[in-house]
Structure formats: C-alpha cells, structure tokens
Amino acid sequence: MSRVDSELSDILCSNEICTKIFDISRISGGCINNAFKFSTDAGEFFVKTNNTPNSKMMFEGEAESLRAIAAAVPDFTSQPLYVGSLLSGGALLVTTFLRLSTSHAKNAQILLGRKLSALHMSESPNGLFGFPVVTMCGATEQDNTWEKDWETFYKKRRLGSILDKCLKKNPRDTELRRLGDIIIDKVVHHLLKNVEVRPVLIHGDLWSGNWSVNSVTNEPVIFDPASYYGHSEMELSIMTMFGSPSRDFFNEYHTNHPRQEPAFEQRQELYQLYHWLNHYYLFGGGYRETSISIMKKLCNLVDE
C-alpha cells in the first residue's frame, strides 16, 4: 500500500466511514484530480484528492453543491461524506460511490430532462442569487456573493469576474477589453430586460462529461458540480458546448420549463461566453478566437 493509499485509508477509518479496507482502485477523476474507489466493510466509496493550494475550498464547495442537489432531487447525485486536509498536502473529498454506465439511451435522456427540470424548481432559500460558499468551475474560483437580481450577479460575479482574470493574464488584449466593456455595459441588460429570472439551484458545470447513468438504477446522475442559485438558462448553455443531450432531453425539459422569449438563443450565447472565457483563462489557445467571435456577434445586438 502506498503512502497516499495508507493516509486515505486512515482518514476513512478514523472518521468512522468504515472499519476495514478490502481494496483500493485508482480511477478517472477528471483532468485536475486524482480519484480512487475504496471497497470496504461499509460498502464502496469514491475519494478525490487534489494538492493545489485552494483544494480544500474547492472540495468544500463541491460538497455543499452535492448536498443541495441531493436534497432537491433525491438519487440525482452522490452524497458527500467528508472533506478534509491531507498531511501530504492538499485535500480530499469522500462521497458515496456511483457505478456508471456508458449508455445514454432515449429513456435516460428523458429522465435527465425530468430530473434537471425538478432541480430547477428548487428556489434560493433567501430569494437571492448566489451560494453560501465559493464553488469552482474547473480550477476557477467562482464568487457567489449574494445579489438581489440576476443581471447584477451575472455582470459582477460571472462575466465581469472572468473578464478581469483573462485581462490580468493578457493585459495587452485591448480587443477583449473593448468588447467586454460593451457587453457588460449594454448587452447584458439588453438581453435580460424583458425576462423574469428566478434564482434556482443549478449544477453550474453540466457539460456532457459531468452526467451519466447509474448502472444500478438505470437513471441519470450528475456529478462534479459548481452550484449556485442562478438563471436556469445558464445551465442549458454549457450543455450544448461539448457534446449535447438529445432532442428527447430538451422536449422533456421544456415541458416544465418553456423557452423564455424573446432572445432565448442570444442569451444562450451570452451565457456560453462565460464558459468560453473560462477556458481561455485556463487553457489559452483557440478559446480566445471563439470568445472574441461570440463577443462581436453579441455586440452587434446593440449600438456601440
């Protein structure tokens, strides 16, 4: 048993998650984490570790997100059991283990639409937009400070924040700065002025790699959340960026959450912009070109 495996085993046992470890398997944990399946006398558990300086905050945000999702829609995600620091540096998150299937058949798509619709009926407990803790979209900290209205939250806590991060990394990118100012000052209000937005619980990073099917129940499950109470359309925007659910999903989802008009498609681009800029911030490269292209298109909606 390696030093890391031994430390993780001690943590599970000392926190009374189990008393005996039978097997430890290394499994996929995404691009920024290490992940393990622990087979124990109390069942199977999923353990993620990360050694970056903000890893404990990241896992605390994920655990709070999982708790909120599980409370809103039972069996839609795993249950968080423990978040803590590692003596070797970094932090860990322990959750219940989900056996995942690769099948995304029609029935699973319909059920995903139904369950996500139910999640988006769970409204903010204080009527505000935000979340009690910081959550992280990939490796990017998200400021979830509560705001009274969605326009302010999206301008300050999402779009403005990620633009600032991009510009700190790329201070000579005057085009990004110019287009960003127009979108913050004019476009966001233009696209939200005729829409009523309620603060509902969203996963926050629901691309195709963050949902699957529980092979035991044959029902869809979501994971790796970066939750907050925001506009439900924000959730839909990332779902079509890197792969997409089928038409069956959207038909079921929009049965309970009809498309909000006017300008639904334009708002999808506005919300996708946050995620494209986040990818530009994290990975650079061609994501700038995509971001600039969307920004120019959005700026054409208003008089500069």
Q: Which tens digit of pLDDT belongs to each residue from 41-62?
A: 999 999 999 999 999 999 999 9
Cβ neighbours of residue 91 under 8 Å, at least 6 residues apart?
Answer: 49, 50, 55, 56, 58, 59, 83, 84, 85
Angle, helices 264-283/287-299, rounded to nearest 10 degrees: 150
Domain extents in the chain: 3-97, 105-300
Q: What is the pLDDT of residue 236?
A: 97
Q: What are phi and psi of 278, to 5 degrees?
A: -65, -40
E strands within 97-206? 100-101, 135-137, 140-142, 200-202
Alpha carbons 206 and 218: distance in angstroms, whole number: 19
pLDDT band at residue 106 using 50, 70 and 90 as cut-offs: confident
Alpha carbons 256 and 238: distance in angstroms, whole number: 20
Q: What is the mean pLDDT of the chain?
A: 95
**What H or E segment, with its residue span, contains residue 169?**
helix 160-169
The domain at 105-300 falls in which architecture? Alpha-Beta Complex (3.90)
Average pLDDT over residues 195-214: 96
Query: Which residues are identified as catalytic?
Result: 205
Q: Which tens digit of pLDDT belongs to each residue from 149-202?
A: 999 999 999 999 999 999 999 999 999 999 999 999 999 999 999 999 999 999
Q: What is the pLDDT of residue 15?
A: 97
Alpha carbons 133 and 140: distance in angstroms, whole number: 14
For the cut 90, the answer to whether the pLDDT of residue 28 exceeds it is no
Q: Which tens digit of pLDDT belongs to each residue from 107-127?
A: 999 999 999 999 999 999 999
Q: What is the pLDDT of residue 2?
A: 83
Q: What is the pLDDT of residue 32?
A: 85
Q: What is the pLDDT of residue 104?
A: 67
Query: What fold, for 3-97?
Result: Phosphorylase Kinase; domain 1 (3.30.200)
pTM: 0.96
